[in-house]
Amino acid sequence: MLVLRLLNVVAPAYFLCISLVTFVLQIFVFIPSMFRDPSTTPLFSPALLHGALFLFLSANALGNYVLVIQSSPEDLGKDLNLSKGAEVADWLDGSRSPGSALPSTHFCRLCARVTQRHDHHCFFTGNCIGSRNMRNFIMFCLYTSLACLDSLVAGMAYISATLSMSFEDPLAFLTLLPHSISQFFSGALLSSEMFVILMLYLWLGIGLACAGFCCHQMLLILRGQTRYQVRKGMVVRARPWRENLQEVFGKKWLLGLFIPVQNVESSYRRQKEK
């Protein structure tokens, strides 16, 4: 448990550090290097277009990241008046409280609260993912993946121009790291260039991981399931996939694709208001 709590603090700091390094490299290294092409007009130069795209992706990734943290799942334990006796032990075992009629609820040891439609605990946000912030979490994964892949392409263009090498051969990227390490220790490669090369592989790993995680979450949403339900083998009621999507993304789903907006209210809160 101590290791998990430490990871819950270190992982968000690691993500913010990687984001800051990516932003600095893009704004102060990659984008200025694109202004060297005099054949393009200033209005439609690759540097300005790429800069606008990167800022759009970064703003959405950071905006949804903040909304995931702010839109914390509700602590249903307060509303259910759970004591510190046997009922809390039932939550710790992953089962429902004896006096509760709410499905898909789970007690998170790290957050110390009971949440509805618990999916998983995200260490990079230090928060549980549930009914209130699922949409923002998926948008965060999507735009983080796109921002990393965008930085990967810009970094490869920068390395190609700096080291006068071509990536037309598919094996060129795979052999770039071992060749760069040997050149770095021989003194033929600068430390700044070696750092950019290491960041290329980091962006590739994060981008592919976020893209795969986003696709996996979308498949679960289409089936009306959460990761917690799949892990516990819970049977869910079959519903049309359109209803499952609307429950997570809401009716104004198109707006959430371009602007970081707060997720729809949970069904539990709507039940309480009624």
CA–CA separation, 226 and 220 (whole Å):
6
Residue 122's contacts (CB-CB under 8 Å, 6 or more residues apart) are: 68, 128, 129, 137
In one-letter notation, the amino acid at residue 245 is L
CB atoms within 10 A of CB 113: 20
Question: For residue 192, how far is the Cα from the chain centroid?
Answer: 27
Gyration radius of the chain's alpha carbons: 23
Q: Which two tokens stand for residue 154?
A: 């810009």
108, 111, 122, 128: which one is catalytic? 122
**What are phi and psi for residue 108, nearest 5 degrees?**
-95, 125
Residue 270's contacts (CB-CB under 8 Å, 6 or more residues apart) are: none
Residue 204's contacts (CB-CB under 8 Å, 6 or more residues apart) are: 148, 149, 152
CA–CA separation, 36 and 144 (whole Å):
28
Hunting for tokens 């790429």 — which residue is that? 50
Q: Which two tokens stand for residue 196?
A: 């950019």
Q: Is 122 known to be catalytic?
A: yes
Q: Which two tokens stand for residue 192?
A: 């700044």
Cβ-in-10-Å burial (0-12, 13-18, 19+) of 273 comes to exposed
The residues annotated as belonging to the active site are 122
